[in-house]
Structure formats: structure tokens, C-alpha cells
Structure 1
Amino acid sequence: MRIVVKVGTSTLAHGTGRLNIRRVELLCKTLADLQNAGHQVVLVSSGAIGMGVGKLLLQSRPADIATKQAAAAVGQCELMYTYDKLFTDYNHTVAQILLTAEDVNDPERRHNIERTLERLLELGAIPIINENDTVSTAEIKVGDNDTLSAIVAVSVQADLLILLSDINGLYTADPHTHPDAKLISVVEHITPEMEAAAGGAGSRQGTGGMITKLGAAKMATSHGVPMIIANGEDPTRLYDIVDGVTVGTLFLAKEM
């Protein structure tokens, strides 16, 4: 299988903004093992701004663009250093790709990205992709890594897109405010009612939320790529997902 895995800031970091070392180590170990089993893995990783906030000892996520970009520049270094070190421990090579909306919207640049990703996968490397927050502004910003991961999954013709988040999946209502909300295991069609119940942003450190995940699901499934939302608290759940065990919410791909 060719698998695109997206991890959010809430999965990678503690509430302080500092890296959740134990979880990231387990994530890298699991992804390395899946690669060893013959799967091809692409990792779309949030966390640059969050890591930078923690390393720069800022009190909260910055609101102004200049400080966000500065935090991203610092945090991306720490993020990739950590990934490179951990994957190297398991004899895997990683490659960093930073993208903006201009890169994916321009046909020639997108073709170049797709060609590079394909060659990296052929060479056995694990591409690690993030939005280029150090230069992104409103005009050239993809906006969130849920959307970016769907773009990547479609670009590499993935067999599966997995979004690891701080929630177990899609519920009938917001489980934070509706304790009786039920987890939806399989979604064949995204309805207006689901979108209305999706709510706003996710964690205070992240930029996405369930609504962006539904947008990613629409994009991926319409191009024949099934998508799963699962809780990233235990990265070893990826084994169950790849083995076909029901975990989180599965969005079925449309017939192509």
C-alpha cells in the first residue's frame, strides 16, 4: 500500500508546545516498520509553528504573521532534526518538502512535485511534507495540513489517507459539548448535516478542525482515495488500520 499519514500539532506536542518525545518516537518506529513491511509511506507533518513557540519560549501561538514565520523557521529545524534522527535509527532516509498554494496550483510546479515524490518513493525514502509557513501569507497559503495531505494523497495516487488527530473520528455531534454523541464508523457520503455538526477549529495550537478534515475527505474520496480519521494518541493503531481493522471513521472512496 501507498499510505499518506498526516499528524497534527496536538498529536506531536504537549500543551506546552514542546515535542511529545515518547509519542513521536513511537510514530516514527511504527512508520518505519510499515515501510519495512513493504508499504510506501508519506508523512504530512504539522508542528513547525508549535515547536517554534515552545523553543522560543513564547507564551502562546503568535497572532502576527512575522512572529508566526519566525516560529516556523525555528520549529521546522527542530521538527526535521527529530524526524531525521529517529528514522535514521531505523535505517530509513527522510526527505523534506515544504509547499505553498502556489506550488500545488501551478500545473508545472505541481507536476515537478509529483515527479519528485514519485522518485523519492521509488528510492525508498520517506517524504516529510509541511506547508512552507516561513514564507506563506494569506495569498499563497494552503491553509491547513488536512487539505495539504489530501492534495498529496491525490498527487501520489495513494491507496489510503490517514489523518491522526486528537479525536477518535467523526461524531454525530461535537463530543466535547455533546457527551451522548456517537462515533460514525463509516461514511459513504458527506452530508450537509455532518458539515453543520463539524464545528470550528481544533486544538488551540493547531489550525484545523473537523470541518477541514471533511474538506480533505471530500477531495480525497472524489479522486478514489479512501480516508480515515483516527486518534493519534497511540500511533501503533496504524498497524490495525493497515490490516483493515475498523479504527476511527472511514470515508469510502468514490468509484472512479
Structure 2
Amino acid sequence: MRVLNCRRVVVKIGTSSLIHPSGTINLQTIDRLAYALAALTNQGLAVVLVTSGAIGVGLNRLHLSERPAAIAAQQALAAIGQSELMRLYSQRFADYDAQAAQLLLTHDVFDYPLSRQHVLDTIDALLAARAIPVINENDSVAVDELDHRTTFGDNDQLSALVATQIDADLLIVMSDIDGLYTADPRSDPAASRIPRVTAVSQAQIERAGGTGSRFGTGGMVTKLKAAATMLDAGKQMVLCSGADPRVLLQVVAGEAIGTWFAPAEKEDVK
């Protein structure tokens, strides 16, 4: 068993968990995610959701199979998909008597102290009201231009930034893989899952290959970078499968699910 001592938890779910390989929306995953987050809130935890999926949902709504190359077309898809994604979240959260609240962020919000404080105050107020902030990058407007940085690059980085900024005890990253392995388990049958990591080296990040699906961005590299951010802040992260988000309840209960990134001084009860 892991001793997590959670008070505030940030949960990140990727596009690959929200969208079927066929491109259709995985409604069962969204429903189970809403159930798990509502259950954690009812247990007295302050919970924040960082979600991907806007462009993937937009592709589904417009019956497209591939992400367009043009930035403006991608941003249009994000605008369409984000509204539909929030409709689904709001609907499913309401089924479990939970309140969702949308926050769309760009990186410069955190770069400037005043805007950062306003966002953190808003999140604190939402958590005090037992609402669940649902955070995504504002893909419809975020671009990198000259020295004005607005993009996070991926939502793994965004989730780690949010978790450290709000002083969360734990970041749970749900993905299409159930942890960090010694090799790529999809190509190496001898690969084994690593149960605990106390430090992430640059060499590990460089060795981690793979990218996201055609519906989303990211891969193991971005997850290791998020884990490094959490460890540098003395915080914890669990990387686990997003196939059934109800696993969140087991993770928070301290069960040995996925890979646990935690500083060496954190307890692990045998």
C-alpha cells in the first residue's frame, strides 16, 4: 500500500482515453470519470480535472478522420469540440450530483503574477464550493508568437503546472498505457512495469519514445516531464491506465496501481 495523504488531487485524462480508435467519443469513459470524481469529492477531497480531447471531439462532430495541418482549422475544431466536451462533462457530472466548472488557460496566464493569482483564487473558490474545475488549454487562441508564450505544448505539462501551482498533493495521469515500463510493452513482450520511481533523469526522458494518437498530442516523454516537475516540487504523481477511470478510487486509496512517482522519503507500506 502507498501512503499518499491526499488533500488536493489533480486528475489528467488524455484524448486516447476519451476517443475510441474509430474516432467516436467514449461515452462510457466520460461517465465513469464523472462517477469517480464525484465520489472523491464526496469523500472530502478537492479535485481538479485537466482534460484533453477538444480537437478529437471536434473531429468526431465534423466527421473528419485526420487532424488538419492548418493552425486555424485546428483551432476551429477545438472551438467546436470544447463546447461539446463540456456539454458531455456537465451532463454526466450532474447525473452524480456534481458541479463542473470550465477554465480555459493559456501559458501567459501563469507567466504574469497578477493573472496567475486571479486564476489560483478562482480555483480555490471553486474548490471551496465543492465544484470540480475542468481545465483545458485554450486551443482556439493559444499560439507561440515571438516572445509571447501562450501554449503549454501538451496537457501533461499543463496538469503538472496546475498541480504544483495549487499545491496539490497528487497528480494522477491517466493514459493509454498503465504505467512506466522498462521497454515499450507494445513491441517488447519482456517489458515489465516499474512500480515506483523516485527520480526522473534527462537520460530517461531522452530514451522515452513515442507520440500521441492522431487525435491528440503527447506520449511517454511528456508524462516523464510532468513527473519530473512533480518530483522537483516534492509532490507525487501516479501514471495509470485511463481505460476505466473508476481506478482513480483505488489509486487514491493507496493501492499499487500503475507507476508511482514519489520522493524517496514518501512511505510505501508493505
TM band (smaller chain): over 0.9
Maintained 8 Å contact 2:29/2:245: yes
TM-score under structure 1 length normalisation: 0.96
Aligned length: 256
Could you list the runs of 4 or more consecutive aligned residues of structure 1 that deviate by over 6 angstroms after TM superposition?
A: none
Higher RCO structure (Cα 8 Å, ≥6 apart): 2
TM-superposition CA deviations, 1:201-221 (whole Å, max 9, x none): 122222010000111111112
Maintained 8 Å contact 1:188/1:251: yes
SS in 1 for 2:104: strand
Query: What's 2:221 paired with?
Result: 211
TM-superposition CA deviations, 1:67-87 (whole Å, max 9, x none): 100100000011000111111
Cα distance in structure 2, aligned partners of 1:17 and 1:102: 32
Match of 1:174 among 184, 203, 207: 184
Query: What's 2:243 paired with?
Result: 233
Distance 1:50 1:102, change over 3 A: same
| Percentage of identical aligned residues | 48
Maintained 8 Å contact 1:200/1:209: yes
Note if 1:185 corresponds to 2:195.
yes
TM-superposition CA deviations, 1:95-152 (whole Å, max 9, x none): 1000111112122111111111111101111000000000011332111000000011
Query: What's 2:91 paired with?
Result: 85
RMSD across aligned C-alpha pairs, in angstroms?
A: 1.5
Query: What's 2:230 paired with?
Result: 220
TM-superposition CA deviations, 1:155-174 (whole Å, max 9, x none): 11111100000001111112
TM-superposition CA deviations, 1:17-37 (whole Å, max 9, x none): 321011110111111111111
- Which 10-residue stretch deviates more, 220-229 or 3-12? 220-229
Note if 1:165 corresponds to 2:171.
no
Maintained 8 Å contact 1:174/1:197: no
Q: CA deviation at 1:254?
A: 7.0
Note if 1:57 corresponds to 2:57.
no
Distance 1:202 1:92, change over 3 A: same
SS in 2 for 1:133: coil
Match of 1:122 among 121, 128, 135: 128
Maintained 8 Å contact 2:170/2:236: yes
Amino acid aligned to 1:142: F
Maintained 8 Å contact 1:173/1:197: no
Q: CA deviation at 1:16?
A: 2.8
Maintained 8 Å contact 2:171/2:238: yes
